[in-house]
Amino acid sequence: MQTINRFAVVLRPLQPFVDWANSAPVRGTDDLVSQEELQVDATVVLTPEMDTIDEALLWLKRFKPQLFEMELDSWCTDRAAWPEKRTARQFDLWFDLEVHSMVFDAVDEPILADSQKAEPEAVIQPGDSVRVRPGVVEPDTGTALAGWQGRVRQMATDPDSGALVAWVEWDSLTLKELTPGLIRRLLEADSYWDGQALETRDLLPASPRDSQAQTDQARTDLLARYVWVDLDEQGKRIHRILRDAFKAHPQFTSLEAWEAYLGGKLRFPFMARVVVEQDSGPLKLDMQVEVRELSGIDPEHGLFVMLQRGGRSFIFPLSDLAVDDPASPNFQPLEDYGMWFENK
């Protein structure tokens, strides 16, 4: 028996985790469990050998969201029943960490990770619905993927490792759980947010949770928010506008995000020019009008404004107007909105 160069950290569930584990969506009609029962067979995490216990805790901090999701997944695979916040700070409220600096190995066999163990892999084919096994992470950002679900679009053999790899397209329920911050991190890491290439041994068969049409719609909605990030300076500016609005109000639609932004950015009243030929009505191409205020949203025509011309008031699509003076504080906001609306 000899020591190994690792610290062992025991995850001790605290009362918030106990309350969640005993909640109806998780426990159902089964008998309640106590904190003592949960701590009997607690999870153990190995860290590198450190000079102090505090160093080991600091090293482990970045893994807390992943550990949080692993513990939740071990009790309930339905992510809808998980707490909304799964940050490192929230982890500290749900778990206590007990560090042990002396770790002995009493087995004369090599330690094997799950991926090295000989276990039967599920037979997975293109078109199948699958769920990611616990412990799997996105390689570029370290995001825990346990429980994420989607459909296998295509499969291929990795020429280097020989492993069978599946491209999994996330379903609409998984896509709707992606936060703006996570999508931004994935984009900045040049990674995909709408799917992931995974070895088949990291996947489990699952029942479909939605239709392909629902998945396509969810992806379209997210693309409307984030497709601009890879474009030119105007595209990046549009991305920041939408990003900041969705960060403050995650439930917003794209038009609501623009309404909030322009409501605080435009200086009313201001003069604008009609730049789109109208099918009917008294307002003609190149007419100058006075824009008074924002006046609602239409899913097809976008934002509307109330404007005046010749003593009469009109409700008019904002996308059909432009400010000609580049020095005007309203010039760029209208240019950006017009570009977004034309390409949405």
- The per-residue pLDDT for 114 is 55
Question: Across the 344 residues of the chain, what is the mean pLDDT of every consecutive 10-residue run?
Answer: 86 92 81 84 88 88 90 87 89 93 80 54 85 89 91 88 90 90 77 89 93 84 64 78 77 86 96 93 95 93 95 96 95 93 77
Q: Is residue 225 part of a domain?
A: no
Tell me the CATH number at 246.
2.30.30.530
Q: What is the pTM of this model?
A: 0.41
Q: Is residue 219 part of a domain?
A: no
Nearest to 99, CA basis, from 34, 232, 210, 10: 10
User: Is the Cβ–Cβ distance between 313 and 274 less than 8 Å?
Assistant: no
Say whether both 91 and 126 belong to one domain: no
Quote the pLDDT of residue 80: 86
- Domain boundary pick from 53, 86, 105: 105
pLDDT confidence of residue 122 = 61
Residue where a domain stops, chosen among 55, 72, 105: 105
Which long-range contacts (C-beta less than 8 Å, at least 24 apart) are formed by 230-233? 230/187
Q: Note the pLDDT of residue 118.
A: 45
Q: For the chain, report the end-to-end CA distance as a whole number of angstroms.
A: 65
Residues 243 and 338 in one domain: yes
**Model pLDDT, residue 289:** 97
Residue-number span of the structural domain to which 84 is assigned? 2-105
Q: Is residue 220 part of a domain?
A: no
Q: In this structure, are 71 and 165 located in the same domain?
A: no
Q: Of 105, 131, 148, which residue is a domain's last? A: 105
Same domain, 99 and 127: no
Q: How many domains does the chain have?
A: 3
| Residue 149: per-residue pLDDT | 96
The reply to whether 176 and 273 lie within a common domain is no
